[in-house]
Copies of this chain bind each other. A is one copy, B any other.
Amino acid sequence: MANQAAIKQSSNTEGMVNGIHMETLMGTVNAIQKTPELGQCKFRARNTWLGGSRNCTSISGFYGAGQEFEHKQTFKLQADEPPILAGSDEGANPVEHLLNALAGCVTTSMVAHAAVRGINIEALECELEGDLDLRGFLGLADDVPKGFTEIRINFKVTSDADDLQTLKDLTRYSPVFNTLMQGVNVAIELQEK
């Protein structure tokens, strides 16, 4: 488990690879290796409908490494829809938020696993595009999938990796990538307020 001293050092460049404080990361890795139950996490979010297509998610904490953690601030994320979907365009729409989740996760996974392997990344950026046919969501055609039918990510990287395939292979560790590729059961309950 990371201790406070280790966390504070993370602003130094000493002991850092790709901007990641390796002692902190390896502390977590070693703790979970020793006590596998510490790997079990519960991530959480709370959402409030604001009328029409607008809603706001608050993210304040999570369970992991055998204890509850509070984020240092509550993160607020706004969703809306564009005018052609009768929204007021005050925020990214939910499927765009999904692309954001995927982009962030694959990026972080590649950077962290590269760090562990001593591969230095200088720059990394990506563009994503996902195909979605609105006839599914609108209920206009039962044979049209309601979700994304494919998502493409194109990365551009500057690194000292011997070959790009090694870096590309590290994307397989991404939790969001795996959740999307494998699918996951979403259990929905609804009760009166």
Contact = CB atoms under 8 A, between A and B. Distances in A.
A10 B88 CA distance: 8
Given A125-B193, A156-B191, A181-B185, A77 B79 contact: no
Interface in A143-178: 144-158, 164, 167-168, 171-178
B24 A86 contact: yes
A151 B186 contact: yes
Nearest to A41: B132
A129 B44 contact: yes
A183 B183 contact: yes
Interface string A21-51: 1101100110011001011111111111101
Contacts of A183: 180-183
Size range of the chain A interface in the assembly: 35 or more
A100 to B, nearest CB: 4
B147 A184 contact: yes
Nearest to A53: B108
B184 A180 contact: yes
A131 B179 CA distance: 11
A188 B82 contact: no
A154 B192 CA distance: 11
Given A86-B25, A156-B193, A128 B42 contact: no
9 closest A-B pairs by CB: A19-B52, A183-B183, A147-B179, A94-B105, A147-B178, A79-B104, A19-B51, A47-B103, A97-B101
